[in-house]
C-alpha cells in the first residue's frame, strides 16, 4: 500500500500542525532595504571609543545612514555577511587608519574589498603616518593576500584625506605627494658604496643646476612604493647614470635597474668608481635563474661597451 505524504509547503500548514504548542508565532527577518550612505572601516580596539564612534554618532544624527559593524547589526546577524553587504551597498567609505590597524586581517580585507568595489574613499590617518601603514605578521597570510592588502594600502595612501594627531589635537588635510614631472636623470648606484660620496654629490650638484634628478629615497615622499617609483623613474628619464662600484655586482636591484635601463634604450653614462670595467661580473650566481643571469650579463656587457668615466678615489 502506497503511503501518502501530505504536502506541507506553506507557513500556514506548519502553524496549523504546531498550534497546540504554546508561544508560537510567525518569524519575519528584519530587513533594512535602505543601503547605508557611509561605511566606516576601522580597528575597533583603537578607535571605536573615540574617532570612529564619534563619526558614527554625528553622521547618524545628521540623518546619514552609517554602518559601524556591531552598532549597525542585530541579534543573529553574521558579521562577515553584514559587513560585505555594507561595503558593496555604501556610497562612501571612511577608512580610519590607526596604530594597530595593520595587525588586523579583517581591517585589511575590508579595505581591499572597498578598493575592489571602487567605492569613494575618505582616509583618516589617526595617530599614524601614511608611510607607517604596513601589514604586520605577514607570515600568517598567503602571498596572494599580502599582494592584495599591499595594493589596497597603497591606493589609500594615494588618496586625499585627513591627518589627525590626538596627542597634539591637530587636524590637517592630507594630500599624497605626486610629482608629475618626468626626471631628466636617473642615478643607478649601490647605496652602501656611493650614496655618501659620488652618487650623493652628483645628485646635489645636478639638482642645484636645475636638472631634475632621481636618487631613490632622496626623490621619494611618504607612502611611495620603492620598486614602483624606481621603475617609473627609469622609464620616464632622459639620461641614466650608472655608478659602478666594488659591491655593485652583489646587488640584484642594481643589476635589475641596469637591465631595465638597457631594455628601455635609455642613454647611459657609465661611471666606473674604484672598479675596472672588466671586473663587472655577477656575484652569487646561484641565487639567480638562468634567465636573470643572461639578462644581467647582457646589460653589464652593454655598459662596458659604452663610453663613460673611470675614477679612482685612492689616486684622486
Say how far residue 48 (Cα) sits from the centre of its chain: 24
- Label residue 245 left, alpha or beta by phi (over 0 means left) and psi (-120 to 50 means alpha): beta
Nine-digit cell string for 275: 672598479
The total number of residues written for the chain in this structure: 316
Helical residues (DSSP H) of the chain, grouped into ranges: 11-17, 44-47, 51-61, 79-89, 105-116, 143-157, 191-194, 198-208, 226-236, 252-263, 290-304
Burial of residue 106 (CB within 10 Å: 0-12, 13-18, 19+) is: middle
Nine-digit cell string for 247: 659591491
Q: Could you tell me which residues come within 8 angstroms of residue 74 by beta carbon, excluding any fewer than 6 positions away?
A: 30
3-state secondary structure at position 13:
helix
Active site residue 257: yes
Helix, strand, coil distribution of the chain in percent, nearest 5: 45, 15, 40
Q: Which of 229, 257, 292, 301 is catalytic?
A: 257
Question: Which residue carries 555604501 as its cell?
Answer: 90
- Compute the distance between CA of residue 160 and CA of residue 172 in angstroms, rounded to an integer: 11
**Active-site amino acid positions:** 257
Amino acid at each position: 500500500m502506497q503511503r501518502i505524504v501530505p504536502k506541507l509547503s506553506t507557513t500556514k500548514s506548519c502553524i496549523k500542525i504546531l498550534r497546540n504548542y504554546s508561544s508560537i508565532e510567525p518569524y519575519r527577518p528584519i530587513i533594512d532595504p535602505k543601503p547605508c550612505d557611509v561605511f566606516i572601516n576601522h580597528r575597533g580596539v583603537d578607535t571605536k571609543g573615540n574617532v570612529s564612534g564619534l563619526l558614527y554618532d554625528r553622521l547618524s544624527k545628521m540623518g546619514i545612514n552609517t554602518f559601524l559593524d556591531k552598532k549597525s547589526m542585530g541579534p543573529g546577524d553574521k558579521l562577515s555577511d553584514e559587513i560585505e553587504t555594507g561595503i558593496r551597498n555604501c556610497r562612501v567609505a571612511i577608512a580610519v587608519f590607526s596604530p594597530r590597524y595593520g595587525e588586523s586581517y579583517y581591517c585589511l580585507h575590508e579595505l581591499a574589498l572597498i578598493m575592489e568595489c571602487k567605492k569613494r574613499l575618505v582616509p583618516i590617518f589617526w595617530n599614524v603616518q601614511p608611510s607607517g601603514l604596513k601589514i604586520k605578521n605577514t607570515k600568517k597570510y598567503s602571498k596572494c593576500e599580502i599582494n592584495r592588502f599591499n595594493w589596497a594600502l597603497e591606493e589609500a595612501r594615494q588618496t586625499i584625506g585627513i591627518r589627525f594627531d590626538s596627542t597634539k589635537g591637530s587636524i590637517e588635510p592630507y594630500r599624497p605627494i605626486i610629482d608629475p614631472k618626468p626626471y631628466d636623470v636617473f642615478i643607478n648606484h649601490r647605496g652602501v658604496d656611493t650614496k655618501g660620496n659620488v652618487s650623493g654629490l652628483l645628485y646635489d650638484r645636478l639638482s642645484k643646476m636645475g636638472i631634475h634628478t632621481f636618487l631613490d629615497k632622496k626623490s621619494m615622499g611618504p607612502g611611495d612604493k620603492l620598486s614602483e617609483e624606481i621603475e617609473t623613474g627609469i622609464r620616464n628619464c632622459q639620461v641614466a647614470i650608472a655608478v659602478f662600484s666594488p659591491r655593485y655586482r652583489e646587488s640584484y636591484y642594481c643589476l635589475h635597474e641596469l637591465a631595465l635601463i638597457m631594455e628601455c634604450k635609455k642613454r647611459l653614462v657609465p661611471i666606473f668608481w674604484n672598479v675596472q670595467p672588466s671586473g663587472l661580473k655577477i656575484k652569487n650566481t646561484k641565487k639567480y635563474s638562468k634567465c636573470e643571469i643572461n639578462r644581467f650579463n647582457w646589460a653589464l656587457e652593454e655598459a662596458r661597451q659604452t663610453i663613460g668615466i673611470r675614477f679612482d678615489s685612492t689616486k684622486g
